[in-house]
Amino acid sequence: RSPGGMSFAASLARPLGARALRSTRSGSPTRHRSHRRAARIHAAEAEPAPTETKGRFRRRDPDAAPKPAPLGSGPDANAPPSGIKVIPVEQRSRDAFQGVAKVDGEAEDPALRSAKLAAGDALAILAFAAIGRGNHGEGMFFGDVLGTALPFLIGWFATAPLTGTFGEDARSTKTSNAAFAAAKGVIAGVPAGLVLRSIGKGAPPPVPFAIVAMVANGVLLVGWRTWFAGRGAGGAGAGGNKKGNPLEFMNLLMSLTKRW
């Protein structure tokens, strides 16, 4: 027994009981560690499987739903609006524009321009034949003039596919291209006409006549083609202003009236 009257066993049991009570209330460190380990295992099971990574970047699952766009974001300002069909101006109808835009935007049909070139070439060759017959004092009836010009007409148009007399350069509004195409036609077409004329008459033409035919047809045809190309360019001056004609003015008035 202790001096206070308490036995030795009771004095030992009292601190042990108080220590056990504190352990029951607060929990032992071992129990806390087990709880934390169980929580980590449960959290690991709840997390989804990690996605495949390559290097420092994580590859996105293709089956995953797209991430929502951040607040305030929208489509690209430069992107074309959806639901609107864009039609190029070149595919619009002829009445898409009226007024000055219609007159300035009209392009001449290549077939029509080639027909104009052919008509002008024929008139130039007929003029050569008429001038030649007039200088020699021969008849100026249309049949006679046509008979003189016929070999050169056939030679000119027969060699046109070979020389590109009615090709893209010939239809161009650049005077240099048009003049070069006409010169190629003269080099091939006029000699062909001289050969046909010699076959028809049964004798070769005199050398002076052949030289005059080459020079005269060259001047008439190249000059006509150059003028036509410059006229097709619209006669734009140094300031870039277009010089119209009465037909374009009437077309402008008619298109404005139709628009109103």
Question: Does the pLDDT of residue 104 top 70, yes or no?
Answer: no
Distance, in Å, from the CA atom of 222 to the CA atom of 163, rounded to the nearest integer, reads: 14
% of the chain with per-residue pLDDT over 90 = 30
Confidence of residue 244 (pLDDT cuts 50, 70, 90): low
Whether 67 shows a pLDDT value over 50: the answer reads yes
Q: What's the pLDDT band for 187 if we cut at 50, 70, 90?
A: very high
| Better pLDDT: 156 or 92 | 156
What integer best gives the mean pLDDT of the chain? 73
Question: So what's the pLDDT on residue 21?
Answer: 46
**Predicted pLDDT of residue 39:** 67
With cut-offs at 50, 70 and 90, classify the pLDDT of residue 58: low
Rounded mean pLDDT of 221-237?
77
The string of pLDDT tens digits covering residues 68-79 is 666 655 555 555
Q: Could you read off the pLDDT of 140-185 as tens digits, one per residue?
A: 888 889 999 999 999 999 999 999 889 888 888 889 999 999 999 9
What is the pLDDT averaged over residues 122-136?
A: 91
Query: Is the model's pLDDT at 18 over the cut of 60?
Result: no
Mean predicted confidence (pLDDT) in 43-67: 60
For 95-104, 157-166, 199-208, 226-235, which range has the lowest pLDDT when averaged over its residues?
95-104
What is the pLDDT at residue 220? 94
Mean pLDDT of all residues in 200-225: 92
Average the pLDDT over 3-14 and give the result.
51
